[in-house]
Structure 1
């Protein structure tokens, strides 16, 4: 097999039912299609190393274990193995996603690669406190994280990010705008088929006459990480308010720690909607779509915090929801407004307000034609602007911009 000229290295497990894993897989496939063999290095789901595991055509994947009781221990363990793996290797381009795998590469850039691409989706100096609250008070650790991020940002020849909000934040940290390329996330339309294309246009849940029947139980769904900054608690609070008007159920699908699940259940019990709440673990995209297509509404109640407002993001859950033919209600934040227009592609609500979510649900319940039209418009927008094929083409253009020649297909 020919020597790979590209290494894509990420402190993430792939495959996995997470947005990061989906993103990495899509980008890996796009790079392999354009440049043939690439090396993908990710975290092993086990305590063992798997060498040259071919998980996608022309993508040679190596998974390195990250063992330890704490995140820092796991990162250090992974870094040691990564440095061993890199010995004797050099690439035309290495693409990294975080300081966890990228810091030592950035410090020794000339040893390992000609060009370095830093794919910035999130930065630990902002995000880590949402997973480990005590980090917010540890100024020394936050300073170290920030410094390592700056080293990676400065060393990178180009920076790829999915949101212009993130791009602006990086510029505020002193990064030249000419180094930044915004490539939004995408959707696999072969997986996320539209309900409206499966069913007749008039059989959309909100187009049914009995959808206005008070006895019909409205089915609402949220999918993604079950963390506070995603607004999961708001979804539960809105569920309680909606049930004062008419019957409704809420399904939450995603990864969560035990304490998060316990808190959600306690909140639902306190608000009297425990029997209206269905909690499901993260699942494959195909299984997820089956659940989505049984629902009437998708919620994405992102909260107004520095993770969403300052750092920025490109919410994959909203893009995937828009592709399904089910109307989406989301928080009115700049990162969401990047993806579409309020009242055309989704309904936007006041961030942090359960009442606003309830009011939006009532709005669609009373205007089924609007609900259906939102779903139709959203699907069309995804097909035109937000596919992984489009994102992959943009990424390969970044590589050709750096002088990497595409493979000649016979």
Structure 2
């Protein structure tokens, strides 16, 4: 049977102001530009910037009252789209929700399967849906579906060496794994030196998912502790469902009424970059849980803060140390400790020169090692090495080299 093109399938919304959508755009731009076209299958998201050149976007539905039913709806949409099509050269998936049915029929659907492991539901799902934490049968099913995807994938991509070690512990040969860290668009997240400290409220920024596994509760408690000494405004930015927003406001309690906390919806990347420049410190308070210690991650919010020049206080975890050195690019503090976060913010206020040094060094570090252009070039090279693919566009090769 003949084969055609690359299919990139993802059970994520696109376009959207979330980190996953930013990652998807960077990867499909690279693959479509380098190898002459790509079909992107993802949940239809918000209106926004059109897909990159060379990418044909096919929005899918994911309807249902819970995650499992939404995933089943999405799988049905994928099956309907695929019906009657030729075998693909490469199918690239980001989770088991789209990956498992494809992995089961790999020989019929594609020559090569790429599994991009940013997260594993056997570890993460309990943080999104606590009610399933004790559902042993569901957990066994999730692990079994992950195992099928891990076994069938010809190439596994992950942004974190911590995740790579976990995949190896699950039986994946190291030679099938490539670590490609996340990146930043440094033209979008432009650099500005830290704001001078003055007699005004200290403005803190937390951006991202408003969940316990990201540590938003530690950011809120650190704000509460700091208010004993200095006026503080903590800005929380990220997507929230109605019930989740209500729980978040309950957690903030009196801080909202007193003007110490504001909650904003997820912002487009350009607006988020401007918000970084309006703040004094960015908080990345990842807790020491299995999502961060066992599964691993590459904190995009940390990279974006370093690129913007705003001083950062982050948890001292292996996934953070892979990106930032303590006292050089950020202040790394005891994980799970609001008191340690508050003390680090006080230290930055007491020594403004420290923040300036970290700001300059953090930006230089991102420009050198953590741009999306560098990640894109690593992705294209991985396809070339694993599958013998040849770039169809000399223009992409030249432009990628210039951006990297």
- Normalization by structure 2: what TM-score? 0.93
C-alpha contact (below 8 Å) 1:160/1:181 kept by paired residues = yes
For the residues of structure 2 that align with 1:267 and 1:70, how far apart are their CA atoms? 24
Shift of 1:363: 0.6
Match of 1:118 in 2: 115
- Of 273, 276, 285, the residue aligned with 1:292 is 276
1:175 is paired with a residue whose SS is coil
Q: 1:58 aligns with which of 40, 46, 54?
A: 54
**2:249 touches 2:256 (CA, 8 Å); kept in 1?**
no
1:357 and 2:341 equivalent?
yes
2:77 equivalent to 1:81: yes
Q: Structure 1 residue 194 and structure 2 residue 179: aligned?
A: no
Name the residue aligned to 1:142.
139
Cα distance in structure 2, aligned partners of 1:136 and 1:110: 34
Structure 1 residue 96 and structure 2 residue 80: aligned? no
**C-alpha contact 1:242 1:248 (8 A) present in aligned 2:** yes
Q: Secondary structure at the match of 1:404?
A: coil
Q: How does 1:374-389 map to 2 (within 5 A)?
A: 374-389=358-373
Within the candidate set 163, 166, 171, 2:168 is matched to 171
- Give how far 1:274 is off: 4.2
Task: Determine if the alignment matches structure 1 residue 404 to structure 2 residue 401.
Answer: no
Indicate if the aligned counterparts of 2:4 and 2:87 stay in contact, CA closer than 8 A: no
Q: 1:45–1:65: 8 Å Cα contact kept in structure 2?
A: no
Could you tell me which residue of structure 2 aligns to residue 42 of structure 1? 42
Match in the other structure for 2:299: 315
Shift of 1:242: 0.8
Structure 2 unaligned spans of 5+: 396-404
Unmatched segments (≥5 aa) in structure 1: 47-52, 197-203
Residues 272 and 105 of structure 1: is their aligned pair in 2 closer, same or farther, counting only changes over 3 Å? Answer: closer
The answer for the alignment partner of 1:31 in structure 2 is: 31
Tell whether the 8 Å contact from 2:33 to 2:393 is kept in structure 1 after alignment: no
Deviation per residue, 1:217-269 (Å, 9 max, x gap): 11111111111111111111111111111111100000122333223322332
Matched, 1:234 2:218: yes
C-alpha distance in 2 between matches for 1:86 and 1:277: 47
- Residues 273 and 312 (structure 1 numbering): CA distance in 2 closer, same or farther, change over 3 Å? farther
Q: CA RMSD in A?
A: 1.8
- Secondary structure of the residue aligned to 1:137 is coil
TM-score where L is the length of structure 1: 0.92
SS at match of 1:5: strand
Q: Structure 1 CA distance, aligned partners of 2:283 and 2:334?
A: 13
Compute the displacement of 1:54 (Å).
Answer: 6.5
Select 1:161's aligned residue among 148, 158, 167.
158
1:268 and 1:274 in contact (8 A); partners too = no
Flag the 1:45–1:341 CA change in 2: closer, same or farther, 3 A: closer
Match of 2:232 among 242, 248, 252: 248
**Inter-CA distance 299–326: structure 2 relative to 1 (3 Å threshold):** same
1:273: how far off?
A: 7.1
Superposed displacement of residue 81, structure 1:
1.8
Question: Aligned residue for 2:127?
Answer: 130
Equivalent residue number for residue 49 of structure 1 = none
Q: SS state of the match for residue 221, structure 1?
A: strand
Distance 1:353 1:229, change over 3 A: same
Aligned to 2:209: 225
- Whether the 8 Å CA contact 1:129–1:135 is kept in 2: the answer is yes
Runs of 4+ in 1 over 6 A off after TM superposition: none
Deviations 1:101-141 (A, max 9, x none): 11111011111111111000000111111010011100000
User: Within 1, Cα distance between the matches of 2:264 and 2:256?
Assistant: 20
Confirm or deny: 8 A CA contact 2:315 2:332 kept in the other structure.
yes
Say if 1:272 and 1:28 are closer, same or farther in 2 by CA, change over 3 A.
closer
Equivalence for 1:8? 8
CA 1:271–1:217: 2 relative to 1, 3 Å: closer
